[in-house]
A and B are shown apart, each in its own frame.
Chain A
Amino acid sequence: MKSFPAILFVSMLLPLAAFPAQAQQKASKNLQSADLDYLLYLIQGDNAQEASAAIAELGKRRTPESLDLLLTQLLLGYPPPMSRAMIQALGERRDPRALETLLFYSGHRSVELRTEALSALCELDIKDPAVQQRIDDVLLRALRDYDEAVRNKAAWLLGKRRVAKAEEPLLKLFERGSTAAMQALGFVGGIRTAKALALAMESTKTSKEPLITTIGTLLSRPDFGPEPVRVQLVKILGETNLPGAQNVLMTYHASGPDAFMRSRKLAYQILSK
């Protein structure tokens, strides 16, 4: 009974503690129903948090007017953090009309904005092969950027998009020690990549685990071949006394492409020993 006042006091404080979350939810609800003018007012205002929330809200909307608003604001120029949020919002919307704006920002002086624009470009819902080719070209150009972060992002995106043309520049970056390029090569590489990886496995200077992962990625691709090249890679993995190599072999044996049974069997034989 003595503790009753304390319990009463704490129970009075609890709603107060929950207030910020409630307020945020309320603001969020408000933004969802807010008109574009109000969102623009918030974006142009001094409160960075509210501006970010308004930008995020624009990213969720699907109306052409809201997209126009985003694109217009991006072209009017904002400090990089806000521009970045707007580019992210464009990426979420995946609207092909953002293409030109994102292409412009893929050449921005800010590294963050460049990488973000590259990511957003790859998110766009574009079916036209010519436009896809244009985006690939931008990524291939970004692979030659003097900034490592941009190169890494481009390598990753090229790997993800499986742009075969990227193999050669990626191999050159791999020769210069780029791990991102090596990982991307797992998705786009062919025989030349296999040879480069095999040579790198012999080198004492290269870290083996990422190489093994890349070889695993190569082996998991049904378009990678021919079989003798796979056999060689499996043998190299078999000679490597690392747990990662065994995992790759196990995965390959269990779920590798069916067209390459010989190398999968070899993987099994190696594991059985």
Chain B
Amino acid sequence: MKNTLRHTMFALLFAAAACKPLPPFHQNTTPNDPGKISRALKMIQLPPAKPHNATGKPLAIFQQASPRTAVAVDAATGAVLWRQPTPNAASRYVITGDYVVYLDKTQGISALDVRTGKPAWRSPVPPQQTFMGMSAAPNGKIAYVTNFKPAGDPLNQVSTVTVLSASGQKIWSLEANGRMGTPLMTDDVVIVPYRSQHLVLLSTSKPVELARILIPRGEVRYMMAMPEGIFFGDNRGLFRLGENVVEEVRNPPTAFVSDIHNVEYRYSLDRYDVVSVDYSAYDVRSLLASWMAGAKGPAVRGSRFVIHMFKYFLGFSVSEDRKATLQWAVMHPFNEDLIGSVAVGEHVFYAKANGSLECLRVATGERIWRTQSLDAAMRGVTFDLGVMAPPSSADVQSPLPLLDALTAIANDPDSRFPLAKRLAIDALAVVGGAGVGRLIKMLTNPESSPELREKAAKDLVARPDPQGVPLYLSLLQQPYDYIQGTRPQAVEVMAEVLGLLKTREAVPVLLQLLVHPQTSVRELLAITNALLAIGDKSIIRPFREFLLAYRADPAFSQDIHPLQKMAEALFKMGGPAERQVLVFLAEDGRTLPRLQEYILRLFDESRKNAAPASKP
């Protein structure tokens, strides 16, 4: 009996132990509990539509490159409010409440007074850990994540999320096996991306896991807290964090489709990428939009967004089926590098490396406002603008017409951004309306980049326009003249286009070029092909004379194709006289061997084809 009682007690104790809830941030916590998610979401306070800093003014905190200094600028006027050297700053500045917070390489998390720039408090970061980034809530609380890989082993890495109070006091800290990304902080809930596919919601006041969401497909690389909601996702698109998030993440995320290739961007900073900890060129490669809740998931305000690529902006409109159409493009000159940008309502604010701020209208691409340069080299900027509207200004600059702007981007002599150039070239093809004149201008402009020329050539060939024939011919009719510096232009492309159009009036022009000594062998081949495609009988005599004149010329021994094509044309279109010429070429010992072989093969194939036909 005693034994039975003992066994029962043991079983009850074991059961009780087994039912004990897992500690917060345990890797085995079951995700997607609808009740917990709902309760946690109710605790989230979305950021207000005003600046988060205690002054209430829109601010931009620049980081000067050398010496590394925090420069606070009144975003409404461009006036410098304060400067504070931060020589060991190793992260971007985070603005919240009374402080501007950053990671100091030697001191840990450090705060500057947002009003004066004076150092306020410090909080040490555990040594030997990799700082993954930090986030601040509007109420001033701060959360940061560090990562530790024992002996650099990525499989056994341990991440730690720490929450600090507005005054820098540690509230709690939690460790977990596996990798955490930079958290997203709200007043009462901190959302930590975990192991790429989890979102862990924790209370900011105590180490309690409120809910966990599993994203079965894709990853959680981007997270944004906006007055309209919290949005997250990866390069495939974004989801909005809501009551039905568990069901929604099983569907494809909200993304835009465009016919333009080479459009590469980020929705925001990558929370798993250590590069995002500090300012970098990634700050100027993003999709800028004011996100809001739409009927079918996240949507962009005004159905418009802007892609910021380095020093170029491209404005898109979005249709109901989420198809993005390029509307405008803006390029900045060579000496005007951009360091950061942000979408605020219907505007995009951006900062230049010289410390000035500018504003574009998302709908039109007009630059409607700008501040003076600070005459210093800045390496990054953090904005806290709220819903700032740009002050009215007479200094409005309209963008170039779209095709001109794209051409300018494609031809930008600044060779640092080939990706943007390829995008512009693709866009030129997609935007359409680039008529023959423009394509020819791109093709013949000596300043055109090789990629642009290639693209223009492809477009001309892909869509040969019969109305462009006079233009095509005018290019070919330019004389070879050393003194005037003229020569026929884009011969290969024009010949191909005229061949496709079967333009008979081009035959005399093409024949003139055929016999011209300065026509290159590649051009000769294109001309021969074009003349063959047009199929005019008047080509027989020039082809015959050409073949005879150059049949023994070693200059053609490397590239015999034009001669072979001409022989083929004589064979197909010529009469007995041409056959005699071909026989002579095939038999004469001085004819180039490859030409001889080709002609003999023509005769052989002709005989073979004729033989079955002659059989009864």
Contacts and interface: CB of A to CB of B under 8 A. Distances in A.
A77 interface: yes
Interface string B575-590: 0000000001000011
B483 A76 contact: no
Interface string B547-585: 111111111000000000000000000000000000010
Given A80-B553, A107-B517, A109-B555, A144 B482 contact: yes
A96 interface: no
A144 B485 CA distance: 9
A249 to B, nearest CB: 33
Contacts of A169: 483
B554 A79 contact: yes
Contacts of B3: none
Interface in A98-145: 104, 107-110, 114, 143-145
Given A144-B480, A146-B480, A173-B483, A75 B589 contact: no
Interface string B530-554: 0000000000000001011111111
Given A107-B515, A114-B517, A79 B553 contact: yes
Contacts of A35: none
A38 interface: no
A258 interface: no
B517 A109 contact: yes
Contacts of A46: 589
A80 B496 CA distance: 31
Contact of B487 (A78, A80, A146): A146
A48 to B, nearest CB: 11
Contacts of B484: 144
A145 B482 contact: yes
A75 B483 contact: no
Nearest to A46: B589
Interface string B311-333: 00000000000000000000000
Contacts of A143: 483
A76 B591 CA distance: 10
Interface in A137-166: 143-147, 151
B7 interface: no
Contacts of A147: 518
Nearest to A107: B517
B483 A107 contact: no
B26 to A, nearest CB: 79
A62 interface: no
A163 B38 CA distance: 98
Interface in A218-270: none
A109 B550 contact: yes
Contacts, number: 57
Contact of A77 (B479, B483, B551): B551
B206 interface: no
Contacts of A114: 517
A144 B517 CA distance: 12
B481 interface: yes
A146 B482 contact: yes
Interface in B428-460: none
A108 to B, nearest CB: 6
Contacts of B549: 75, 77, 104, 108
Contacts of A77: 547-553, 590
A76 B548 CA distance: 5
Given A46-B589, A77-B548, A79-B590, A151 B482 contact: yes
B601 interface: no
A144 B550 contact: no
A26 interface: no
B548 A108 contact: no
Nearest to B554: A79
B236 interface: no
A172 interface: yes
B522 interface: no
B483 A144 contact: yes
B550 to A, nearest CB: 7
A226 to B, nearest CB: 28
Nearest to A170: B483
Contacts of B553: 77, 79-80, 109-110
Contacts of A78: 552, 590
A173 B480 CA distance: 15
A109 B518 CA distance: 7
Most B-side CB within 10 Å, residue of A77, A107, A145, A172: A77
Contacts of A146: 480, 482, 487, 518
A75 B481 CA distance: 27
Nearest to A150: B517
Contacts of A76: 548, 584
9 contacts: A75-B549, A77-B550, A80-B554, A143-B483, A144-B480, A145-B480, A145-B517, A146-B480, A147-B518
Closest 7 CB pairs of A and B: A77-B548, A144-B481, A109-B517, A79-B552, A172-B483, A77-B551, A77-B549
Given A77-B550, A78-B552, A79-B552, 17 more contacts: A75-B548, A76-B584, A77-B547, A77-B548, A77-B552, A80-B554, A104-B549, A107-B516, A108-B549, A110-B553, A114-B517, A144-B479, A144-B480, A144-B484, A145-B518, A151-B482, A173-B483
